[in-house]
Amino acid sequence: MKPYVIGIDMGGTNTAFGIVDARGTVIASSSIKTGKHSKIEDYIDELYTEISRIIAANDAEGKINGIGIGAPNANYFTGVIEDGVNLPWPTPIPLADLISKKFGIPCLITNDANAAAIGEMTYGAARGLKDFIMITLGTGVGSGIVVNGQMVYGHDGFAGELGHVIMKRNNGRVCGCGRTGCLEAYCSATGVARTAREFLEIRDDKSLLREYDIENITSKDVYDCAVKGDKLALDIFNYTGTILGEALADFVTFSSPEAFVIFGGLTKSGDYIMNPIREAFDKNIMKVFKGKVKILISELKESDAAVLGASALGWEIKED
């Protein structure tokens, strides 16, 4: 097997990429603007130019085993982005085929949360675990489910949308997926900001958050106020963590994982979010599972995590 793989994280705004070795070291990395080009072919041309540049600069020509890509709504089975809601090009896009032909290197794709799970299993906190669930807390809530050492893709490649399990059946928040009451509407970074706005409107307690522009409050603002002991900010984290802890307790009944691995910007809130998660989890888990399931924080460096996760797919490609 060749010593390196390429990992590509295709986001709605930026595309990050890097050369990764078998130990999970990012040898070199760079990025381009995803939405710069009106045609997918022009985007791939720029990606090819930039990746070829870092390959040449790091003496990696002929040493790339495969290319892995994490992208929105990317289907591992078909290699196609079927509905890239945050991408500037019409879908479906046969991305794996287009990239393989351009680079002359085999390519696999999957969605970003599955890529994170594969990266965690290959390089991070889930090394050695055969049954775990990855939860990514970012703009949305993503998940990747691993059972018996294998990613769960389902019959169509889209299994594992735990962010869209409905937590509030009545009068729930509208979610970006079009349904109401989804976990993502409450426990993502944007969900935390929505909770902050709601609490500020329906409660009259004093809060440092009232000094912010209510329409532009972020989860980081809530954290900054929580650090200063602001009760409303602390209540927002308790509310968010309780919902997520209840959800994780329910998820255990599906696949009996050894662990949940939590990744994303919200984990930077530390005990403010993790304590209510663990408390609600312990309170709601079925007795038969009690004490058997760990809740871990991702070990992947955030700046490299998306590229590492995608790159792990490159090791699945076997040479002919």
Give me the amino acid identity at 289.
F
pLDDT of residue 85: 63
Q: How far is CA 283 from CA 20, 271, 294, in A?
A: 41, 17, 14
- For the full predicted model, state whether its pTM sits above 0.75: yes
pLDDT of residue 35: 84
Contact 21, 7 (CB under 8 A): no
Q: Which CATH architecture has domain 4-118+303-316?
A: 2-Layer Sandwich (3.30)
Strand, coil or helix: 137: strand
**For the chain, domain boundaries:** 4-118+303-316, 128-298
Strand, coil or helix: 73: coil
CA distance 315 to 250: 33
- Tokens coding 274: 């993790």
What homologous superfamily does CATH list for 128-298? ATPase, nucleotide binding domain (3.30.420.40)
CA distance 310 to 68: 5
CA distance 135 to 244: 10
Cis-peptide, bond into residue 92, ω within 30° of zero: yes
Alpha helices in the chain (DSSP H): 40-57, 95-103, 112-123, 184-187, 189-202, 219-227, 231-255, 271-284, 302-311
pLDDT of residue 177: 86
Dihedral sign (CA 182, 310, 71, 215)? positive
- β-partners of residue 182 are 166
Contact 113, 142 (CB under 8 A): yes
Report pLDDT digits (tens) over 99-150.
Answer: 999 999 999 999 888 998 999 998 899 999 999 999 999 888 999 999 999 9
CA distance 246 to 244: 5
Are 4-118+303-316 and 128-298 the same fold in CATH?
yes
* pLDDT values of the chain reduced to their tens digit, one per residue, 320 residues: 899 999 999 987 889 999 999 999 999 999 999 989 889 999 999 999 999 999 999 999 999 999 999 988 899 999 999 876 678 899 899 999 999 999 999 999 998 889 989 999 988 999 999 999 999 998 889 999 999 999 999 999 889 999 999 999 999 999 988 899 999 999 999 999 999 999 999 999 999 999 999 999 999 999 999 999 999 999 999 999 999 999 999 999 999 999 999 998 899 899 999 999 999 999 999 999 999 999 999 988 877 788 998 999 999 987 65
Radius of gyration from C-alpha coordinates of the chain = 20
Contact 186, 195 (CB under 8 A): yes
